[in-house]
Amino acid sequence: MKQPWWQERIVYQIYPRSFQDSNGDGIGDLRGIINRLDYLDALGVGVIWLSPVYRSPNVDNGYDISDYYDINPQLGTMADMDELIKKAAELDIRIIMDLVINHTSDQHVWFQQSRDPKSPYRDYYIWRPGKNGKPPNNWTSFFAEDCWVYDEKSGEYYLHLFAKEQPDLNYNNPKVLEEVKNILSFWLDKGISGFRCDVINILYKDSLADGRQRLILRGIEHYLSRPGTHEILQSLRRDVFSQYDCFTVGETVFVTPQMGRDLCDPEREELDMIFSFEHMETDQFIVKWFKRKFHPGRLAKAIDRWQRALDWNANYLENHDQPRSVSRFGNDGRFWSESAKLLATLLLTLRGTPFIYQGQEIGMTNFDFTSLGQVQDVESHNVYHLAKKLLIPGWYRWRMIQQTSRDNARTPMQWDGTANAGFSTGQPWLGVNNNFKRINVAEQIDRDDSILGFYRELIRLRASLDTLKSGQFQLLTAGRHVVAYARSLENEHLIIALNFSTRNRRIAYKGEVILASSGRTAIGDELLPYEAVILRSMSGRG
Ligand code: TEU
Ligand code: CA
């Protein structure tokens, strides 16, 4: 069966501020992306996901939008955007945009207007009077703050589930959905091919009653995957998406397999795929700020649950909100290159559409900052201060930030060994990792045995093997050191075996070596440290 294009292609996520600066102001921009299209083409990228490029005061780096119909001047102009879409299309690269519609910026004209209780925009947001001098309910936000802000002028509070500069839209007001549909059509008419839909499963708030007592996100039962959200998604699909050749991937926080099935069920016509979080939570206790030791088997079991839950899903190990995978699930010291290749193998051999985050393909690592002053992310600052209020000691607070801050993924792309890693001729908006002389594109691009060379090879292999593109998934082993699974299509069975440890490990699987991350063509019965292999099994399922 022929798969839709968005199941056959590799997606590459660009965080525009950190990708490539073209004019020396230290901020990555659209021209910078245009200049790097050939690089992405040579890698085998078929779709680019652009993190937000709309006009924004950048409290949350573009996830706070002040004008959905305009480009952030720091990133370029509408003419640049048109050119990017056109030049990408010439290389057969499609572009999807980030759709942030749970909230806007507090600088958006809708919100500015809505501060006036008599304005027709009042009802675009969620305004409520307080209760006995206190906020309207006991909810807490995603960014470690209270989620109501009192407005002197009107004597009411507005709701924000993220930063206070990101007020939530009110989807009980049908006008809001109409506005969203117009925005979608505007960009789809420009030639983009879909959207990554930010926190899309929390749009609709059922009620504003107090939340049950819980440690984090008090109130979540009133807005997580409510029927109203499903109705909104169906309406967007019916009235807009179905009119275009496009796809949607939902970023769905706290999603369960059953919720995922509802969102992606082809019969219900809502989303095409989602980003689930369970596999990214296997190295934490309750919240991401409290890390526990990484256990490969636990990661594999979470992945397996989702491989079984949905017929097709979005696979990722990194994005702009997560620490770098090689520092987190691999070994960014002695086995840096080996473990980055192992993680590449995992990402590109699962069933589903693979999403690569910029820099992942060269094994970029977590930042090497030494103080909070170097960190920009609003979430990191909020959490640091909350932890201080909770009397968590300074050394531990800094460790929390080091291991988990979203800025780990946001340091500038390391292109070469020249000043600022070739990212910018000016002072970069966020520090470049000092390892850029060792870890950069130029150093890897002509070497087939580099991490980048291995990504290229895996992407080519995936394109040429139907079993990798569309075969069924079956977990075989989820151990403390070794993870293995099969992909099967008709009579072909591929076995993927991954050694997540620093020692040789025995494996029981036999077959022709299709690709080994070490470059070996025969493996005997042992995998080398952090080695990954793809075998074609001679005897059924190995
Ligand atoms: O993130 C939603 C989200 O809940 C988390 O992944 C978030 O980054 C945070 O770490 C929770 O602790 C999306 C975007 O990806 C993120 O960059 C935005 O800041 C957020 O929504 C608000 O738009
Ligand atoms: Ca710039």
Task: Please report, for the chain, the start and end positions of each structural domain, with discontinuous segments joined by +.
Answer: 1-100+313-367+411-464, 109-159, 468-536
Which atom of ligand 1 lies nearest, measured to the CA of 162?
22
Instruction: With a cut of 80, say whether residue 1 has pLDDT above it.
Output: no
447/436 Cα distance (integer angstroms): 17
Instruction: With a cut of 80, say whether residue 539 has pLDDT above it.
Output: no
153/175 Cα distance (integer angstroms): 24
Q: Are 456 and 44 in contact (CB under 8 A)?
A: yes
Intrachain domains 109-159 and 468-536 with the same fold = no
Strand positions, DSSP E, 163-286: 194-197, 247-251, 273-275, 284-285
CA-based torsion, 297, 303, 307, 309: positive or negative:
positive
Q: Which residue has the higher pLDDT, 214 or 409?
A: 409
pLDDT tens-digit series, residues 391-407: 999 999 999 999 999 99
The superfamily in CATH containing domain 109-159 is Oligo-1,6-glucosidase; Domain 2 (3.90.400.10)
Q: Which residues contact 480 (CB under 8 A, 6 or more apart)?
A: 295, 296, 297, 501
Instruction: With a cut of 80, say whether residue 71 has pLDDT above it.
Output: yes
The superfamily in CATH containing domain 1-100+313-367+411-464 is Glycosidases (3.20.20.80)
533/462 Cα distance (integer angstroms): 14
Query: What residue's CA is closest to ligand 1, atom 2?
Result: 199
Of 97, 198, 284, which is best to mutate to test ligand 1, by the most ligand atoms within 8 angstroms of its C-beta? 198
pLDDT tens-digit series, residues 444-503: 999 999 999 999 999 999 999 999 999 999 999 999 999 999 999 999 999 999 999 999
- Residue 60 near ligand 1, beta carbon < 6 Å: yes
Query: What residue's CA is closest to ligand 1, atom 14?
Result: 198
- pLDDT score at 341: 99
The rounded percent of the chain whose pLDDT value lies above 90 is 97
Question: 232 alpha carbon to ligand 2 midpoint, in Å?
Answer: 36
Query: What residue's CA is closest to ligand 1, atom 23?
Result: 63
Average pLDDT value over all residues in the chain? 97
Q: Are 277 and 254 in contact (CB under 8 A)?
A: yes
Band of pLDDT at residue 541, cut at 50, 70 and 90: very low
pLDDT tens-digit series, residues 245-289: 999 999 999 999 999 999 999 999 999 999 999 999 999 998 999
- pLDDT score at 525: 94
CATH of domain 468-536: 2.60.40.1180
Instruction: With a cut of 50, say whether residue 149 has pLDDT above it.
Output: yes
Assign residue 144 a region (left: φ > 0; alpha: ψ between -120 and 50; beta: otherwise).
Answer: left
pLDDT tens-digit series, residues 77-106: 999 999 999 999 999 999 999 999 999 999
Of 51, 108, 145, 162, which is best to mutate to test ligand 1, by the most ligand atoms within 8 angstroms of its C-beta? 162
- pLDDT score at 144: 84
Q: Are 482 and 502 in contact (CB under 8 A)?
A: no
- Residue 338 near ligand 1, beta carbon < 6 Å: no
Q: Are 259 and 225 in contact (CB under 8 A)?
A: yes
Task: Write down the residue that tokens 């030494």 correspond to.
Answer: 370
Q: Which residues are catalytic?
A: 198, 251
Q: Are 158 and 148 in contact (CB under 8 A)?
A: yes
Least Cα distance to 354 among 393, 315, 382, 401 occurs for 315
pTM of the model: 0.98
Q: Which amino acid is at 366?
A: N
Of 49, 142, 161, 355, which is best to mutate to test ligand 1, by the most ligand atoms within 8 angstroms of its C-beta? 142
404/67 Cα distance (integer angstroms): 30
The rounded percent of the chain whose pLDDT value lies above 70 is 99
